[in-house]
Structure 1
């Protein structure tokens, strides 16, 4: 049974405690990413089981048609639009998905919120370049003293999507003395209301009121581009947007435009429309965007 594991950027799979379960099988782990269907078809020509890490490679009908030996796709985390389920079904290819812990994603999200609020990456970079106590955040589009950083206590934390990760983020926010407001589906809002949290009257109200907006949605056809340029433009110039979910939740280029215009004033993102992100990407050039 030939197993192929794609896009293990950090070469972590072979070092996992469970990796010895693959010892009796011909398993190949790739740490680099290729995008072309022709190249992928060559790489996967003998694959019977394909293991995907997040949505780093799109498994399209055109690619599936070139993989006659493929019998199963195993997805770490939830299956999204990057896998053509209809094509897999027609071919009799089994598609499975995993259920991971929400803790890692929630802790990363909170670390980004803390780092952005205190302008830590900017101060660290400045100090390493010999500049004492300067964040470099002095654009004319920014409010006075924007580079000094800010407290979270007393601010409004907005959570769009009150699932497992969103619930953890809400708990962190409350522990830091923040006012927690939720937006999302009706069921999401009902759960949040049951937990005693504030519910925004509307999406517009949500973006206008919140000092921090954190996105926790799955990428589906009806959530693609759900955060619009108008939503971002309605945020406070002192606010921040945090996205550790999926880049495609935002309209294309909306975040770049919004940050250049100063609404919101900051962003912290761990997801990009194309990964690995290329050196010179517009977000990497923005002083008011933290990218990981």
Structure 2
């Protein structure tokens, strides 16, 4: 089968143990992201199968109209919000998803917390430039860690906070609040209460119609000037332009993010702000996670090729 793997930025997929599963197949791997419809349709023109790395390339109805050879999409991870499932159904294209792990993203979240609160990136650069001890960091013990969304990743981050002897405060939908309460974690009185009390506030919500823009400019303005906002989930949870406006206004005092509205990022005015620590969406980009994600995606694809039962979202 002619298989195309898109958006392998690091050229790492062919070096994974899981890649051996595709031996005997005709595999083409691309290392950049295209957004132009004509260019994408040309690139995928001969593909019978697409393997997608998370949400890097949207699969739209207009694109599918131009891909007459496409039979199946195998998605790494469990989300497929970037794939037009109804259009796939109309074209008879199977769509399969796999599983993921919360650990890599939770670990990266905590790395960003420490990096921002102790000004680690700035002090690394200071030291390399011959400048000694130029900032005064902030410790975590006895400060309040706010968790907005107590799912798999949020619950891990809450555990990390407790290990650092932080007070943990949770807010989210009713089921989130109940899980946190059952775990003995304090539940905020409201979203406003969460934003006002948190010294570190970490977002761990799924992106959907209800959560898009849920963090408004008003919400950010309620944060302390000494607080840190962390977002390793989805950039669109924050209203457009609100984070840059808030950081310029000094509430919150800092932000640490791993996600952007449009990726990959080469220029962004946010990156010019001194009170921002940012990474290029590497929360899930880790060897063990990739073996899991691609192992699932390739196994699902082989099941389809061999006529075995599959979990087809487009059925």
SS of aligned partner of 1:68: coil
Q: Deviations over 1:183-235 (max 9, x none)?
A: 11111110010000010111111100101111111111221111111111110
Offset, 1:166: 0.8
Number of the residue aligned with 1:263: 251
TM-score by length of 1: 0.93
Please name the residue that 2:59 is paired with. Answer: 59
Query: 1:36: which partner in 2?
Result: 36
Counterparts in 2 of 1:96-107, with a 5 A limit? 96-107=96-107
Q: What is the CA–CA distance in structure 2 between the aligned matches of 1:72 and 1:96, rounded to whole Å? A: 8
- CA–CA separation in structure 2 for the residues paired with 1:203 and 1:156: 15
Corresponding residue for 1:144? none
2:296 aligned partner: none
Aligned partner of residue 168 in structure 1, secondary structure: helix
Q: Which residue of 1 aligns with 2:134?
A: 134
Partner Cα separation in structure 2 for residue 234 and residue 172 of structure 1: 25
Show the counterpart of 1:138.
none
Q: 1:159 aligns with which of 144, 147, 159?
A: 147
Q: CA RMSD in A?
A: 1.0
Task: Deviation per CA, 1:10-32: give whole Å up to 9, x if none.
Answer: 11111111111112101111111
Deviation at 1:125, TM superposition (A): 1.4
**Corresponding residue number in structure 1 for 2:269:** 282
Corresponding position of 1:23: 23
Cα offset for 1:79? 2.2
Does residue 1:194 correspond to 2:182, yes or no?
A: yes
Deviation at 1:74, TM superposition (A): 1.4
Q: Give the aligned partner of residue 184 of structure 1.
A: 172
- RCO comparison, higher one (Cα < 8 Å, 6+): 2
The alpha-carbon deviation at position 178 of structure 1 amounts to 0.5
1:50 and 2:38 are equivalent in the alignment: no
Please report the TM-score for the alignment, with normalisation by the length of structure 2.
0.87
CA contact (8 A) 1:80 1:220 kept: no
Residue 130 of structure 1, CA deviation: 2.0
Structure 2 SS opposite 1:219: coil
CA contact (8 A) 1:283 1:291 kept: no
Partners in 2 of 1:211 and 1:100 — Cα distance? Answer: 29
Please give the secondary structure, in 2, of the residue aligned with 1:167. Answer: helix
Deviation at 1:78, TM superposition (A): 2.6
Q: Following superposition of structure 1 onto structure 2, how do residues 82-161 of structure 1 map, counting pairs within 5 Å?
A: 82-135=82-135, 148-161=136-149
Q: Distance in 2 between matches of 1:209 and 1:12?
A: 42
- Measured in 2, the distance between the counterparts of 1:42 and 1:222 equals 35
Supply the distance in 2 between the matched residues of 1:240 and 1:78 (Cα, whole angstroms): 29
Aligned residues of 2:80 and 2:97 also touching (Cα < 8 A): no
- List structure 1 runs of 4+ shifted beyond 3 angstroms: none
Which of the residues 216, 220, 225 maps onto 1:228?
216
State the alpha-carbon separation in 2 of the partners of residues 126 and 80 from structure 1: 42
Is the contact made by 1:152 and 1:178 (CA closer than 8 Å) also made in structure 2?
A: yes
Cα distance in structure 2, aligned partners of 1:192 and 1:92: 42
